[in-house]
């Protein structure tokens, strides 16, 4: 069984919160506030109860979290 810690983030991947959480260093509620403020990557909605984050966006946020800004227009 693969755990979240075993996963390596790749730019072309889509990841669930549980998969990116070990890398971002903040709690789920803090991350949600960052997303709403557009200072964290915006989720890709795959269904009514399924969201994922683009690996490239998460890697960019990890590299420079203090200056990251999500694009104004999203293509989902």
pLDDT per position as a tens digit, 4-18: 455 689 999 999 999
pTM: 0.83
Please tell me the distance from the alpha carbon of residue 30 to that of residue 44, in angstroms, as a whole number. Answer: 18
Whole-number pLDDT of residue 71 = 84
| Planar angle of CA 63, 44, 20, nearest 5 degrees | 40
Write down the H helix ranges in 9-73: 17-24, 28-36, 55-63
- Tokens coding 18: 């549980």
Whole-number pLDDT of residue 1 = 46
Please tell me the distance from the alpha carbon of residue 34 to that of residue 44, in angstroms, as a whole number. Answer: 15
Per-residue model confidence as pLDDT tens digits over 62-72: 999 999 999 88
For the residues 37-56, what does the mean pLDDT come to?
Answer: 95
């Amino acid at each position: 069984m693969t755990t979240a810690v075993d996963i390596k983030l790749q730019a072309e991947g889509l990841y669930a919160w549980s998969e990116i959480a070990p890398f971002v260093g903040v709690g789920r509620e803090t991350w949600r506030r960052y997303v709403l403020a557009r200072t964290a990557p915006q989720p890709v909605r795959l269904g009514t109860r399924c969201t994922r984050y683009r690996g490239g966006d998460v890697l960019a946020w990890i590299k420079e979290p203090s200056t990251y800004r999500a694009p104004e227009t999203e293509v989902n």
